Amino acid sequence: MPIAAPHQRPPPQQDGSDRIVIQQSDVASEQIRQVLSQLVDNSPADWILLHLAMGTMKMGGHRYGAFLDAATTAAKLAIYASFIEQGENIRKTGFLYHVEPKRVKAIVQEIQTAVADGQSLKVLNAKEPYYLIALPFLWQEEFPCDPQTSRVRIAGLTPSERKTIEDGLPPNAPMARILDQVEFNELLEKLHYLSQEELPVAQRMSFSDALMQHIKFRLLHSGTVIQVDSPLVDIPLFALVSESYAPKDERERAFAMLDDVARYFSILQAWVRSEEGAMRGIEVFDIDLNRRQEALQELDVLLRTWADKYHQEDGHPMVLQFAAGTREYD
């Protein structure tokens, strides 16, 4: 029985041959670290971009094109902000950013149109690409199943063969039909068109084999769907194994990280503008590793006690963020 045992996620397969290696080896990790350190050097802005690219694409599953579009949108918004500050002077804004005046004009118009029409620009505006979030719902809606009927409807199988395939699924797999390749592909196509309806026409993407492969790969990679290769049938089957897209462990932490960094950035922006009540600080120190755990626990308690001491209902809303770890620079 090649179906994975419960709780043991199989390496998702593509065409039965390529296996996605989810755990990177230490060698690969060290190789990546060296290349990045050599190329990025010690420029903080580049490290922020790199951490962000890793967080959104490598961990989060956003497309390469989506990340580049979002970066371009951010750059356009910075230009727009200067345009307003410079008294809506296109020429001065162009000089500041080294952009041709007609390009500045087009950028300003694009943003003004989006604001007026309530449209969105090309951003990474979901925490996760739509297909990871929406697929479990659409699958259960389109291919529901109840405890009395088998999840497997493939022709030519006996009831006991169907049960054998079904028993190989993880115990928490939702009550939804197991699909063959054609059904699964059609579901992905439907999912794609539904997601596009919410976008402005200019931002819609056409569906292609390449996009379908990308979506399928990400669904398998994230463990939302598993491929079932049974000797009882000669075609690959696909099973939904997650009720909803629930990031966990490292992925969940990666999302929390982006939330933390965005808020931290926002507090520091207030500090840059010298707003009252905004504060930032760094403590650099060396520690006896035997006392590190004790120190971090004490820190956690210290800060909670401090916040409790000053908390007052209906007061001014405040947030304190902190992070501690190994110092990797001098």
**Footprint on residues 215-254 left by a copy of itself (CB under 8 A):** 216-218, 221, 250, 253-254
Strands, DSSP E only, in 115-230? Answer: 179-180, 225-228
Tell which one of 125, 172, 181, 203 touches a copy of itself (CB under 8 A): 125
The distance of Cα 18 from the centroid of its chain, to the nearest Å, equals: 23
Q: Which stretch binds a copy of itself (CB under 8 A): 2-10, 117-125, 188-196, 229-237?
A: 117-125
Q: How many residues sit close enough to a copy of itself to count as binding (CB under 8 A)?
A: 155
Query: Of 4, 6, 77, 199, which lies in the binding site for a copy of itself, with binding defined by CB under 8 A?
Result: 77
Q: Is 157 in the site for a copy of itself (CB under 8 A)?
A: no
Residue 319 contacts residue 267 (beta carbons within 8 Å): yes
Q: Rounded to an integer, what distance in angstroms lies between the CA atom of residue 50 and that of residue 261?
A: 13
Minimum distance of a copy of itself from residue 16's CB (angstroms) = 14
What is the smallest separation between the CB atom of 33 and a copy of itself, expressed in angstroms?
9
Segment contacting a copy of itself by CB under 8 A, of 167-175, 180-188, 214-222, 223-231? 214-222
Assess 260 for contact with a copy of itself (CB under 8 A).
yes
Cα distance between residue 109 and residue 113, in whole Å: 6
Q: Does 282 bind a copy of itself (CB under 8 A)?
A: yes
Residue among 8, 38, 148, 206 that touches a copy of itself (CB under 8 A):
38
Residue 280 interacting with a copy of itself (CB under 8 A): yes
Residue owning tokens 């529901």:
144
Judged by CB under 8 A, the chain residues 166 through 205 that form the site for a copy of itself are none
> What values do phi and psi take at 43, rounded to 5?
-95, 115
DSSP state of 23: S
- Site residues for a copy of itself, 290-329, by CB under 8 A, read 291-293, 295-296, 298-300, 302-304, 306-329
Residue 108 engages a copy of itself in binding (rule: CB under 8 A): no
Q: How far is the CB of 117 from a copy of itself (least distance, A)?
A: 11
Q: Which amino acid does the sequence have at 284? A: V
- Cα Rg of the chain (Å, integer): 25
Establish if 1 lies at the interface with a copy of itself (CB under 8 A).
no
Whether the CB-CB separation of 130 and 195 falls below 8 Å is answered with yes
Binding of residue 39 to a copy of itself (CB under 8 A) = yes
Instruction: State yes or no: residue 124 binds a copy of itself (CB under 8 A).
Output: yes
**CB 135, CB 191: distance < 8 Å:** yes
Whole-angstrom CA distances from 248 to 100, 144, 251 are 46, 26, 5
What's the CA gap between 174 and 243, in Å, rounded? 5
37 touches a copy of itself by CB under 8 A: no
Task: Determine if 26 is a binding residue for a copy of itself (CB under 8 A).
Answer: no
Per residue, the 3-state secondary structure of 51-72, as one string, reads HHHHHHHHHCCCCHHHHHHHHH
Residue closer to a copy of itself by CB (options 150, 213) is: 213
Q: Coil, strand, or helix at residue 233?
A: coil
